[in-house]
Amino acid sequence: MATTLYGIPNCDTVKKARAWLAGEGVEHAFHDFKKAGVPPDHLDRWMQSAGWEKLLNRQGTTWRKLDPAVQAGARDAAGARSLMLAQPSVIKRPVVEWPDGAVTVGFDPAGWALRARR
């Protein structure tokens, strides 16, 4: 399994993460949520690994622009999953699937350095 970074290309954090991976010589694939959507089976794996609460970005612009009724629908794992599939921009970025099967959410250079050395 190769390293795959999931996100949106114009996201500043995703840009930093991609630059970090390239700078560290970590070969990786990039999966653009905007163009390719979120693979439901991968989302299920991420939710199981990281938790839906960590994946659902309630701090971002997309979340703040949502109707309060839509936000309220994401109060549990099933509702959050539906929202993340419909509105991938509400997923905290980047999500990285590492060769060892681990999943990380967000950009963490120190933690990533440990993974990249494996």
In whole angstroms, what is the distance from residue 50 CA to residue 103 CA?
A: 7
For the whole model, what pTM was predicted? 0.92
Side-by-side strand order, sheet with 3-7: 28-32, 3-7, 95-97, 103-105
Which residues of the chain register pLDDT less than 50? none
Active site members: 11
DSSP category for residue 35: H
What is the predicted pLDDT for the residue at 118?
64
Sign of CA dihedral 33, 36, 41, 45: negative
Domains and CATH numbers, the chain: 3-116 (3.40.30.10)
Nearest to 58 by CA among 83, 39, 33, 29: 83
What is the predicted pLDDT for the residue at 1?
62
What is the predicted pLDDT for the residue at 115?
82
